[in-house]
Amino acid sequence: MEFGFPELAAIRLGYGLSPHMKPPATADELLAGVADAAPGPDAYTLQDARDAWQKRKDLSDARDAGGEAEKMAYDDFGRELGRMNWLDLQRRTARAVDAHSGFGERLVQFWADHFTVRGNGAAQQPLVLSFVDEAIRPHLNGRFEDMLFAADTHPMMLIYLNQNGSIGPNSPFRQRRPDRPLGLNENLAREALELHSLGVGAGYSQQDVRELAELLTGLAYNARNLEIFRPGMAEPGAETVLGKSYGGDGPASLDDIRAVFRDLARRPETAAHLARKLAAHFLSDDPDQGVVDAMAAVWRDTGGDLPQVYRVLVTHPALADSFRQKARQPFDYIATSLRALGVTGQQIMGFEQRDQNRFLVNPIQRMGQRWGTPSGPNGWPEEAEAWINPPALAARITWAMTVPRLLLPELPDPRNLLDVALGGTQSDALAWAVPKAESQREGVALILASNDFNRR
Amino acid sequence: MIILRGAMDGIDVFQPYGDPMLRKLRQTISVGPEGGAADLDGFYALHPSLQSLMPLWQGGELAFAQAVSTPYRDKRSHFDGQDLLEAGTGDDVGEGHRIGGWLNRLLQEMPGATSETAYAVGTDEMKILSGRARVKSWSPDADLKLSAQAQLLLDQIYHDDPLFRDAAMDAGDLAGEGMGREKGPTGDARALGLFAATRLNADTRIASFSLAGWDSHARQAQVLSRALERLAASILALKEGLGANWAKTTVLAMTEFGRTVRENGTGGTDHGTAGALLMAGGAVKGKRAYGDWPGLADNQLYAGRDLLPTRDIRAYSAWALRDLFGVQGSTLERSIFPGLELGEDPGFLA
């Protein structure tokens, strides 16, 4: 079988091939599909998060005043919030499985990881969902500066990187409380430079981190009224970041913060950092310098217009030349497997708790990617070696052996599945081995466990 | 070897309450014996959440070194810091991962080393063990369901793809060696320790795993307690699992860098420079603080904010390799830790 752009696009840039739909035929079709990853009707908003916060507070007050029934109501709601992380995994899987182009949902995964947040405890779970729906999805197809600003001023990021309690040492807020140990916290400022924009290799200094931390004071989330900026907490006066002064005149405002993020987003160091990161995620752990340079050039020329940068990525010869150099991460692996098996998003959304656990939550954890809990703000590792090690590969093989049989009323014929799932890209070794399996179940498992299928 | 990811605040774990500056720099954290920490020697006190390790201290099986660091300076990035810690090289940022980890280079120098000699435990990537020498890797809760025929076919399928082939080979050998999950908030850490012990009781000589959760920018009292309880659980599980072999064991727990000496505005600390190294095990000359304390006064700090490193942390690792495996000084300084000057033997192994 021959294969071309459609197969490469689906396998490398989307969530693989599906028995229900054709892969995108052209780069235009692939790129147009990114719009499908915009916030959906089920988008979770900050207002939803606030409502959940209010409800929890009311239930907590009622519990303190009431008896057993009130305590149970409070605990039940806490458990409901705690399960939102798994609901999020379920929703994301369902959208990935159904998306025609798939590239948009892959970009959601990429950018949500680039701007890693992690909810601490049940109460923060609504904010994690809102982060992806309100800071990432609306900006996938826009300018990077808008995503950078939205992500780094989103309440979940302010909480995760400790901006919430960072207070200008000379701010009015601080001066009214001389006895309390209040002051700067430089966590968000550092990661905004190191991880989110310039990259660690760029020539910024500890002084730049410090000045940016001062400039970011005032950013603080108040769950009561949804505000994210409190001028009274901001450090007065101008701050100099990378040689440019911000916030010199007038009272502190969010506009100064928008201005610094805009400038950071357009810097050539940011162009180079993000071009390489996109290429390393989609093409190869050690990407071709030609495609990196081409993307960085478009980034610089357009000031970080993402669709134009994506176009370079998806039309470059490196797309074909570096085929199978990437290993699918566990989320990608599970979504791609379900899609190849013909499972639909509707079926996935129908999973009750038990199926959620055995088909999604537990397997992804054993594969090394416990949902919503990367170990640091740099997100999940990119290299194949991080994902294909003995225990993690054992978890993939076990998934391939057990889940299809539990999930499908009837298993597909492995010989058909080979073409459906791999579209002519399968190796001779796999094509040779699949018909020799002892059972349909093992034939299906060999395909899903194969390096052909686990690589992209 | 335990890698503590996220930058452990060494000043809060082994609190130098005898330094009068500590009280001035920190108000709500590191409050010494009056805040419940256990006095160790009249100068240092042990964080309350490591109370369960006090019997080891009393028994001479727990020690630490203060004010140690890798050669990494100034950028204070967790991820570069960890890469350098695991690579064991000098401060050439970004180069680290290309030459693999220092424990792997040790294996390349060990006569008779096999793939069983070193073990990466858990599903976290352990760059400290990555490199040319083969190592094993398994996770306490891993499992593999595969028939013999399917396994043979998979061997064929993976044959020309070393990454998959080697991982599957080990997975096949190790299937059934898992031990299920341990319950409770420290259960995963305990399982890592118990599983590592089963390997070390067999042919393995070096086991490595990582514990995350040390990045205490805010509410450090809570964040650090949780992390320390997991660290203590993993060490006690190692001791329990190793039985008599504990007497021959050295545990090193190290982190990418320390944290600012001053408490920040949110009851936490930011990224710093020098930190602390924990040593445990029957092979350790314990109940002692190693390293030179640089002091906390303004003119004693690094860059006006961090604890000043007084010793390269690699020197401790190198002396341990010399004592435990007989590695020559020149090999240590040239191959395993390129650019390191071994210096004086800190003498922390019994």
Q: CB-based contacts of A80: which residues, under 8 Å, 6+ apart? A: none
* Tens-digit pLDDT profile for residues A84-102: 999 999 999 999 999 999 9
* Tens-digit pLDDT profile for residues A180-196: 888 899 999 999 999 99
- Asked if B168 lies within 8 A of A393 by C-beta distance, the reply is yes
Please report which helix (H) or strand (E) contains residue B69, including its range: strand B62-69
Residue-level pLDDT at B97: 45
Residue B53's alpha-carbon distances to A194, A218, B17, B233, B247, in angstroms, are 37, 42, 19, 9, 16
Q: What 3-state class would DSSP assign to B254?
A: strand
B232 sits in the region (left: phi over 0; alpha: psi -120 to 50; else beta) called alpha
Same domain, yes or no, for A348 and A431?
yes
390-409 in chain A: CB under 8 A from chain B: 390-395, 397-398, 401-402
A149, part of any domain? no
92-151 in chain A: CB under 8 A from chain B: none
Residue-level pLDDT at B75: 86
- Using the 3D structure, point to which of A265, A283, A301 is the last residue of a domain: A265
Whether A437 has its CB under 8 Å from any CB of chain B: the answer is: yes
Whether A167 has its CB under 8 Å from any CB of chain B: the answer is: yes
Same domain, yes or no, for A444 and A343?
yes
Q: Tokens 């019997």: give the residue.
A: B55
Closest CA to B5 of B182, B125, B138: B125
A258, part of any domain? yes
The string of DSSP codes covering B22-65 is: HHHH-SSS--TGGGTPEESSSS-EE-GGGGGGHHHHHTT-EEEE
Q: Is pLDDT at A409 greater than 90 in this prediction?
A: no
Q: Is pLDDT at B217 greater than 80 in this prediction?
A: yes
The span from the CA of A340 to the CA of A450, in Å, is 14
Q: Is pLDDT at A250 greater than 80 in this prediction?
A: no
Residue A199 belongs to domain spanning: 156-265
Mean pLDDT (chain A) is 95
pLDDT band at B342 (very low <50, low <70, confident <90, very high): very high
Q: Would strands B14-15 and B45-46 be described as parallel, antiparallel, or unpaired?
A: antiparallel
Whether A421 has its CB under 8 Å from any CB of chain B: the answer is: no
Q: Is pLDDT at B99 greater than 80 in this prediction?
A: no
Torsion of CA A397, A402, A404, A406, to 10 degrees: -170
pTM of the model: 0.85
List, in sequence order, every residue forming a beta bridge with B349; answer none if it has no partner: B284
- Asked if B265 lies within 8 A of A167 by C-beta distance, the reply is yes
Residues of B in contact with A437 (CB under 8 A): 149-150, 153
Q: Tokens 């650019």: give the residue.
A: B339
22-61 in chain A: CB under 8 A from chain B: none
A448, part of any domain? yes
- The stretch B212-228 carries a mean pLDDT of 93
Q: Tokens 């990035």: give the residue.
A: B77
Q: Is the Cβ–Cβ distance between B266 and B217 less than 8 Å?
A: yes
pLDDT band at B93 (very low <50, low <70, confident <90, very high): very low
pLDDT band at B142 (very low <50, low <70, confident <90, very high): confident
End-to-end CA distance of chain A: 18
A282, part of any domain? no
The span from the CA of B11 to the CA of B307, in Å, is 9
- The stretch B201-221 carries a mean pLDDT of 94
Helices (H), B88-186: 102-109, 148-158, 162-174
Same domain, yes or no, for A338 and A259?
no
Give the other-Cβ count within 10 Å of B242's Cβ.
22
**Range with lowest mean pLDDT among A452-456, B141-145, B152-156:** B141-145
Residues of B in contact with A389 (CB under 8 A): 120, 123, 125, 137, 167
Please give the domain boundaries of chain B with CATH numbers for all domains.
Answer: 2-142+178-336 (3.40.720)
A138, part of any domain? no
Q: Is the Cβ–Cβ distance between B294 and B307 less than 8 Å?
A: yes
Nearest to A388 among B76, B167, B267 (CB): B167
Residues of A in contact with B137 (CB under 8 A): 389-391
Q: Is pLDDT at A381 greater than 60 in this prediction?
A: yes
Residue-level pLDDT at A226: 85
| Residue A311: burial class (beta carbons within 10 Å; 0-12, 13-18, 19+) | middle
Helices (H), A16-171: 27-32, 46-65, 68-82, 84-98, 103-114, 125-130, 144-152, 155-160
Mean pLDDT (chain B) is 93
Residues of B in contact with A386 (CB under 8 A): 125
Residues of B in contact with A162 (CB under 8 A): 217-218, 266, 268
Q: Is the Cβ–Cβ distance between A371 and A116 less than 8 Å?
A: no
Same domain, yes or no, for A365 and A439?
yes
Higher pLDDT, B95 or A172: A172
* Tens-digit pLDDT profile for residues A141-158: 999 999 999 999 999 999
Q: CB-based contacts of B258: which residues, under 8 Å, 6+ apart? A: B7, B8, B9, B10, B11, B69, B272, B273, B274, B275, B276, B306, B307
Nearest to A376 among B6, B161, B263 (CB): B6
The span from the CA of B28 to the CA of B35, in Å, is 9
Residue-level pLDDT at B165: 96
Whether A381 has its CB under 8 Å from any CB of chain B: the answer is: yes
Question: Which one-letter amino acid corresponds to residue B220?
Answer: Q
Instruction: Tell me how close the Cα of B150 comes to any Cα of chain A, in angstroms.
Output: 6
Residues of A in contact with B138 (CB under 8 A): 390-391
Same domain, yes or no, for A233 and A344?
no
How many alpha carbons lie under 13 Å from residue A60 in its C-beta half-sphere?
A: 8
Instruction: Tell me how close the Cα of A323 comes to any Cα of chain B, in angstroms.
Output: 14
The number of folded domains in chain A is 2
List, in sequence order, every residue forming a beta bridge with B255; answer none if it has no partner: B4
Closest residue, chain B, to A444 (C-alpha): B150
Closest CA to B127 of B68, B249, B210: B210
Instruction: Tell me how close the Cα of A69 comes to any Cα of chain B, in angstroms.
Output: 27
Residues of B in contact with A185 (CB under 8 A): 217-218, 264-266, 268, 270
Residue-level pLDDT at B124: 81
- The stretch A247-272 carries a mean pLDDT of 93
Q: Is the Cβ–Cβ distance between B200 and B136 less than 8 Å?
A: no
A191, part of any domain? yes
**Chain A interface, best mutation among B146, B160, B209, by max A CB count within 10 A:** B146
Q: What 3-state class would DSSP assign to A301?
A: helix
Please report which helix (H) or strand (E) contains residue B118, including its range: strand B118-121
A235, part of any domain? yes
- Asked if A386 lies within 8 A of B125 by C-beta distance, the reply is yes
Proportion of chain A above pLDDT 90, given as a percent: 91
Residue-level pLDDT at B178: 67
> What is the value of ipTM here, to two decimals?
0.94
The string of DSSP codes covering B197-247 is: HHHHHTT--EEEEEEE----SS-HHHHHHHHHHHHHHHHHHHHHHHGGGGG
Same domain, yes or no, for A261 and A337?
no
Helices (H), A283-389: 289-302, 306-315, 318-321, 330-340, 345-349, 353-355, 362-366
A188, part of any domain? yes
Nearest to B138 among A166, A383, A391 (CB): A391
Helices (H), A99-219: 103-114, 125-130, 144-152, 155-160, 172-175, 187-191, 206-216
Phi, psi of B282 (to 5 degrees): -70, -20
- Using the 3D structure, point to which of A265, A290, A310 is the last residue of a domain: A265
Whether A366 has its CB under 8 Å from any CB of chain B: the answer is: yes
- Dihedral of CA A347/A352/A357/A361: which sign? positive
- Using the 3D structure, point to which of A265, A281, A313 is the last residue of a domain: A265
Residue-level pLDDT at A1: 56
- The stretch A15-27 carries a mean pLDDT of 97
- The stretch B211-235 carries a mean pLDDT of 94
Instruction: Tell me how close the Cα of A406 comes to any Cα of chain B, in angstroms.
Output: 14
- The stretch A374-386 carries a mean pLDDT of 92
- The stretch A345-371 carries a mean pLDDT of 95
